[in-house]
Amino acid sequence: MTEKTPCTTDADPQETTEWVDALEAVIKNAGMERAHHILKQLSDHATRTGAQLPYALTTPFRNTIPVQDEASMPGDVFMERRIRSIVRWNALIMVMRANMDNDDELGGHISSFQSGATLYDVGFNHFWRANNDKQLGDLLYIQGHSAPGIYSRSFLEGRLSEEQLDSFRREVDGNGLSSYPHPWLMPDYWQFPTVSMGLGPIQAIYQAHIMRYLSARELVARDDRKVWAFLGDGEIDEPESLGAISLAGREELENLVFVVNCNLQRLDGPVRGNGKIIQELEGVFRGAGWNVIKVVWGGLWDSLLARDKNGLLQKRMDECVDGEYQNYKANGGAYTREHFFGAYPELEEMVAHLSDEQIYKLNRGGHDPDKVYAAYAEAMRTKGQPTVILAHTVKGYGTGDKGEAQMGTHSLKKLDKETLKAFRDKYVIPLSDEELESVPYYRPPADRPEMEYMHKRRKALGGYMPSRINGFTPLQTPELDIFKAQLESTGERKISTTMAFVRMLSTLTKDKLVGKRVVPIVPDEARTFGMEGLFRQLGIYSSSGQLYEPVDSAQIMYYKEDKKGQMLEEGINEAGAMSAWIALATAYTNYRCPMIPFYIYYSMFGHQRIGDLCWAAGDMRARGFLLGATSGRTTLNGEGLQHQDGHSHILANTVPNCISYDATFSYEVAVIVQDGIRRMYQEKQAVYYYLTLLNENYQHPAMPEGAADGIIKGMYRFQEATIEGKHRVQLLGSGSILREVIAAAELLESEFDIAADIWAVTSFNELTREGQAVDRWNMLHPEQPARESYVNQCLKDQAGPVIAASDYMKNYADQIRAWVPGSYRVLGTDGFGRSDSRQKLRHFFEVDRYFVAIAALKSLQDTGDISADVVAGAIQRFGIDPEKPNPLTS
């Protein structure tokens, strides 16, 4: 604290100086802690007297770590600059080559990585420990569109070939490099998909949280492994980026480091042209309990700042907005002299000895390896708090007047010849002008000192990164009879599939084979789903245990928070709970500890609310169960339009490796869950499950003999017609509407002498995928005997038209039309939900037993089996108004 506050508006500068001197003396003689104590006392006293304090969460626009406290970087600065320069070069070249001499316009980004190169390089050289036999590596969430820079380093390390770099964004023929980090496409390399802005930060927070959860439960060792997340300053505007930072502060996640690459620009323009993104973020993160390290200025500013005795330079730094800072880098040294330093004659004087070139070169903190090293070292030392590093950089750094800090630099895909030459010169790449013609990569021979240095650094840190471990030791699946109770009839007792599921979950947690790995996750809905019994049984994970006596402590099922709690209660926060689920669902790779997470939520707030995370989970090869509870447009009756889900199965099916089921009976849930564990954890299939659960109570029959196979495939004959009948129909039903279908069969048989076979459809989605796969195979193998879809196998020998009804949009059941022999009619719940009784809703949405019966009769009319007046008579008898408005538009 050698500088003084600017005195421009100071009524009594001498008095101010005395106070500042007194403070300095305390710091010098008694230390920072003592100074902190005195300031706190003064502040408390002032507050008690009612004084308005100049309360600020931000500090001046300068580096948080004073020069004298900077940890100094070990190693060879020169070697590191060489490595970084070559990494920069190849990152640029691979994007240029992807867009050269072809009409494919494959795209890619240059400017983002060039702004962040030092931030990555210092991490790779000094901090990030790799995965290997002895250690679990640090977890890196890389800014997605900086991927070329990461590939470039791997190329230098010899992990990727020139051919592979040339296959950047050319993946179809194999061995290509994905545009962005995608574990699905590069399962041995990328760990986390981050390019959908905001998903990286929220996932990183929950990753760090789950890391603590797993060690608290003694499933993995608690060590100093860290989660590092790189974010763009523009990305910060995504609600997901900042939405969970208070959790990290509250949970004291010292294993988490955010690095925000503050190049002041996003895609279209400045992030905060009229303000200062670094200052804004400092306040936000500090308020959330983070350790904030600003890396604003590079070392070349140090001597100027040291000379800034009256604080005028600081004042100028504080008053300039980001739009101006962008201008200084875009317009060069003379412009900066005039517009930045020129604002005050004293400042102009201060830099009179510097050339324009030297002024231009006054560097920003994020481009100074020493400053970055000091910040990272501080982050590594920090205890009891997550750290955010706000690194000031220049977008398009090094790309000259075509790219550096230019408004459109984000979309820069190539440099012209002259700019490329200048780039080569700046980074001293040993390629001649002629050689540049072919836009070549450059990799020094293996025995060059910089190459040896680079390998040595990585060896010291345990190997190369990024790297993802795909394999894991399979789990042994419990036998189906673990769920014996759910396979039997409930007799007179009426329960919901949710209740049945909760019992299964409880049983699973006690299982010797997998019990410890089961993690129930709820977003403040446990009571809604009747899961409060698990609070006490499993305990709710809390890093601080339970510091209070819960108000319900006298009850058996009290609200028990516990340091070793098994259950996760993530609050009203579906995105957070899903991120926790993802961290657990990928624990098989990131912790080499397969976990079986069950995230249970209102089905309406799943794929619809957090669909992008569901998509990312597929990319990440997540393994686990999502449970969409209170599902069905007419089954969740009172809650109305925003709650009643009639489309989550349509959305679930958009994720290629999400297997989805709409079960009716508890034995179906049991079969699906047991088989899911087998497929995901024993057979190691890269899929995850979405299963809807219902809150309607009814009696459940025992599992029909031999039904398990059909339950898994998506349909089975639940019941054969009980009469011969004049005519016959095939009725299909799923979820709660299967029960209306069963009732409709009774109506048809008893009142119309029509025999009705009943099929329970557990997954129209799975049936569709299988049918499409069969069609595809048949198309490509015209000379082979055609294969038969499972739907066709089930229905081909059955007489009569087929009618399907579900509590989902008609499209859900309609998907299987191609494989249904003969006539097919579908009922579903298209339209906005509303509150009422289930009975009324099913009438309104036209999926109740009467509509199912009418649909069957109409189909028989269309096949010429019965006459129109029979159908019309039934419509009248069932009290259905034919002019009733269409629920789709009501």
Binding site for ligand TPP (CB under 6 A): 112, 115, 143, 145, 195-197, 232-235, 261, 263, 265-267, 271, 395, 410
- Let me know: does 298 contact 371? Beta carbons within 8 Å: yes
- Least distance (Å) between residue 316 CB and ligand TPP: 25
Cα 870 vs. chain centroid, distance in angstroms? 55
Provide the 8-state DSSP code for 392: E
Query: What residues pair up with 804 in beta bridges, in sequence order?
Result: 732, 826
Torsions phi, psi for 65 (to 5 deg): -90, 120
Q: Which residues pair with 602 in a beta bridge?
A: 629
**Residues in 571-610 at the binding interface with Mg ion, rule: CB under 5 A:** none
| Residues composing the chain | 890
3-state percent helix, strand, coil for the chain, nearest multiple of 5: 45, 10, 45
Supply the minimum distance, in Å, between the C-beta of residue 261 and Mg ion: 6
Which of ligand TPP, Mg ion, none sits in contact with 209, Cβ below 5 to 8 A by type? none
Cβ closest to ligand TPP, residue 265 vs residue 327: 265
Nearest CA to 88 out of 367, 308, 345 is that of 367
In the complex, the smallest distance separating the C-beta of residue 245 from ligand TPP, rounded to whole angstroms, is: 16
Q: How far is the CB of 230 from Mg ion (least distance, A)?
A: 11
SS3 call for 315:
helix
Kindly state the number of chain residues that form the binding site for Mg ion, as judged by CB under 5 A.
5
Q: How far is the CB of 199 from ligand TPP (least distance, A)?
A: 8
Q: What does the buried/exposed string (b/e) look like for 575-600 if buried means 16 or more CB atoms within 10 Å of the residue's CB? A: bbbbbbbbbbbbbbbbbebbbbbbbb
**Residues 261-290, interacting with Mg ion (CB under 5 A):** 263, 265
Q: How far apart are CA 616 and CA 622, in angstroms?
A: 9
Whether the Cβ atoms of residue 326 and residue 270 lie closer than 8 Å to each other: yes
In whole angstroms, how close is the CB of 230 to ligand TPP at the nearest point?
Answer: 9
**Binding at 196: pick from Mg ion, ligand TPP, none (beta carbon under 5-8 Å per type):** ligand TPP
Alpha-carbon span 171 to 174, nearest angstrom: 5
In this structure, what DSSP letter does residue 479 have?
Answer: P
Nearer to ligand TPP, 115 or 763 (CB): 115
Residue (232 or 466) nearer to ligand TPP, CB = 232
Cβ nearer to Mg ion, comparing 197 with 583: 197
* CB 204 to ligand TPP: min, Å: 15
Q: Which is nearer to Mg ion, 263 or 497 (CB)?
A: 263
Q: How far apart are CA 302 and CA 295, in angstroms?
A: 12
Q: Which C-beta is closer to ligand TPP: that of 326 or that of 496?
A: 326
The nearer residue to Mg ion, 181 or 232, going by C-beta atoms, is 232
Nearest approach, Cβ of 262 to ligand TPP (angstroms)? 8
Is 193 a residue that touches Mg ion (CB under 5 A)?
no
Shortest Å distance, C-beta 231 to ligand TPP = 7
Task: Count Cβ atoms below 10 Å from residue 750 Cβ, excluding itself.
Answer: 11
Burial of 273 (0-12, 13-18, 19+ CB in 10 A): middle
* Segment contacting Mg ion by CB under 5 A, of 92-100, 185-193, 260-268, 470-478: 260-268
Asked if residue 372 lies in contact with residue 391, where contact means CB atoms within 8 angstroms, the answer is yes
Which residue, 261 or 498, has its beta carbon nearer to ligand TPP? Answer: 261
Q: How far is the CB of 71 from ligand TPP (least distance, A)?
A: 26
197 binds, among Mg ion, ligand TPP, none (CB under 5 to 8 A by kind): ligand TPP
**Contact call for residue 233 and Mg ion (CB under 5 A):** yes
- Provide the pairing of β-strand 802-805 with 754-761: unpaired
Q: Are 804 and 733 in contact (CB under 8 A)?
A: yes
Cα 609 vs. chain centroid, distance in angstroms? 13
Cβ contacts of residue 720 below 8 Å, gap of 6+?
757, 758
Which residue sits closest to ligand TPP, CB atoms considered?
232
One character per residue 768-807, x = contact with Mg ion (rule: CB under 5 A): ----------------------------------------
| Binds Mg ion by CB under 5 A, chosen from 232, 386, 403, 887 | 232
Distance CA 494, CA 195 (A): 47
Cβ atoms within 10 Å, residue 319 = 11
CB nearer Mg ion, residue 403 or residue 523: 403
Per CB under 5 A, 143 contacts Mg ion: no
Partner whose footprint covers residue 399, from Mg ion, ligand TPP, none (CB < 5 to 8 Å by kind): none
Q: Name the one range near Mg ion by CB under 5 A: 259-267, 348-356, 846-854, 880-888.
A: 259-267
- Identity of the residue, 114 or 635, whose beta carbon is nearer to ligand TPP in the bound complex: 114
Give the residues across from 390 on adjacent strands: 260, 294
- Which residue, 138 or 322, is less far from Mg ion as judged by CB? 322
Could you give the 3-state DSSP secondary structure of residue 848? coil
For the chain, count helices (H), then strands (E).
Answer: 37, 18
For ligand TPP, the closer CB: 328 or 625: 328
Quick one: what does residue 118 bind among Mg ion, ligand TPP, none, with the CB cut-off 5 to 8 Å set by partner type?
none
| Residues lying near Mg ion in the complex (CB under 5 A) | 232-234, 263, 265
